[in-house]
C-alpha cells in the first residue's frame, strides 16, 4: 500500500473508517481535511441498489443547493429571437441556434450546462454524440428543455445540481466548496441526499441507498450515515 503524505495523514488523524458519521460531523471532518492551497470542491458519492441498464431503475434529476455550490456555471442556450434575448439577459454565456451547434461540433466546450427551448431540439438532437457522453444533452426531465429558458439559466447559475446514476450504480456530485461553513456544507448534503431518496425508481428493490461518502477534491472519503435507514 502506498504511504500517505503528511497532508493526508493529518486529514485522516481524527477519522475512523469504521464509523458512519452524521452529515454534520462528516461536513466538519471533510472541511477540516481540505487543506490544499485552492478551494477544494466538496463531493458526495452515493452507492445505490439499482441496475441502470434497466429503464425502470434509472435515477436522474436535479436539485437546487440551498447555499449554492460555489461553482461558476457556464451556460449555453439554444434559442431564437425573444427567447435568445431572455437567455442573454439571464446571464447565459453562449446563445444561438445552428451557428452554436456548428461551434460545438467544431470543438467549442466552454460551457457546463446546455439548455434549449423545445423548438430547438431538432438542432440540438444532432449533437447527441458530442453532448451525450458529457452528460450535457438537454432533457425535459432535468428542466433543461423548457420554454422558460431564462428561469433555467438562473437556476443553473444559482446552484442547481444535476445528477444521473452511472453504470456501477453510483451517483456523485459536487455540492459545495471547502470555504463554506460546515453547517452550509451539511445543509447542501442533506438536500442532495433527500433529492436522491425522492428519485427512487419504481424498479428499485431492497435497500436503495447502500453507502454515502463525502470527500473533498484532495481529501479522504468520510462515510455518512443514512438518517432514513
Strands 75-78 and 113-116: parallel
For residue 227, the model assigns a pLDDT of: 76
Q: Are 62 and 180 in contact (CB under 8 A)?
A: no
d(C-alpha 50, C-alpha 170), whole Å: 9
pLDDT at 2: 45
pLDDT at 141: 86
Q: What is the pLDDT of residue 228?
A: 72
Query: Whole-prediction pTM value?
Result: 0.82
What does the pLDDT read at residue 183? 98
In whole angstroms, what is the distance from residue 205 CA to residue 101 CA?
41
**For 203, which DSSP code?**
T
pLDDT of residue 94: 97
> How far is the first Cα of the chain from the last one, in angstroms, to the nearest whole number?
33
- Name the grid cell of 164: 444521473
Angle at 29 between CA 24 and CA 32, to 5 degrees: 125
Q: CA-based Rg of the chain, rounded to a whole angstrom?
A: 19
Give residue for cell 443553473. 156
Q: State the fold for domain 19-69+160-224.
A: Ribulose 1,5 Bisphosphate Carboxylase/Oxygenase (3.30.190)
Let me know: does 42 contact 184? Beta carbons within 8 Å. Answer: no
Task: Return the SS3 of 134.
Answer: helix
Pick out the chain residues at pLDDT < 50.
Answer: 1-3
Q: Where are the domains of the chain?
A: 19-69+160-224, 75-157
Cell of 92: 447565459
The CATH classification number of 75-157 equals 3.40.50.790
pLDDT for residue 89: 97
Amino acid at each position: 500500500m502506498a504511504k500517505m503524505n503528511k497532508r493526508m495523514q493529518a486529514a485522516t488523524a481524527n477519522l475512523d473508517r469504521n464509523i458512519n458519521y452524521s452529515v454534520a460531523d462528516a461536513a466538519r471532518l471533510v472541511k477540516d481535511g481540505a487543506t490544499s492551497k485552492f478551494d477544494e470542491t466538496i463531493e458526495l458519492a452515493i452507492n445505490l441498489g439499482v441496475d441502470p441498464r434497466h429503464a425502470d431503475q434509472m435515477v436522474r434529476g436535479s436539485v437546487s443547493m440551498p447555499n449554492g455550490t460555489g461553482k461558476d456555471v457556464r451556460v449555453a442556450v439554444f434559442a431564437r429571437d425573444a427567447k435568445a434575448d431572455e437567455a442573454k439577459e439571464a446571464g447565459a454565456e453562449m446563445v444561438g441556434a445552428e451557428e452554436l451547434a456548428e461551434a460545438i461540433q467544431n470543438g467549442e466546450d466552454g460551457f457546463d450546462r446546455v439548455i434549449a427551448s423545445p423548438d430547438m431540439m431538432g438542432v440540438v438532437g444532432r449533437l447527441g454524440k458530442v453532448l451525450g457522453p458529457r452528460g450535457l444533452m438537454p432533457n425535459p426531465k432535468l428542466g433543461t428543455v423548457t420554454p422558460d429558458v431564462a428561469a433555467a439559466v438562473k437556476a443553473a447559475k444559482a446552484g442547481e445540481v444535476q445528477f444521473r446514476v452511472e453504470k456501477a450504480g453510483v451517483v456523485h456530485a459536487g455540492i459545495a466548496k471547502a470555504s463554506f461553513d460546515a453547517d452550509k456544507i451539511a445543509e447542501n448534503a442533506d438536500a442532495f441526499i433527500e433529492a436522491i431518496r425522492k428519485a427512487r425508481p419504481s424498479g428499485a428493490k431492497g435497500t436503495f441507498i447502500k453507502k454515502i461518502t463525502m470527500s473533498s477534491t484532495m481529501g479522504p472519503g468520510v462515510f455518512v450515515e443514512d438518517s432514513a435507514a
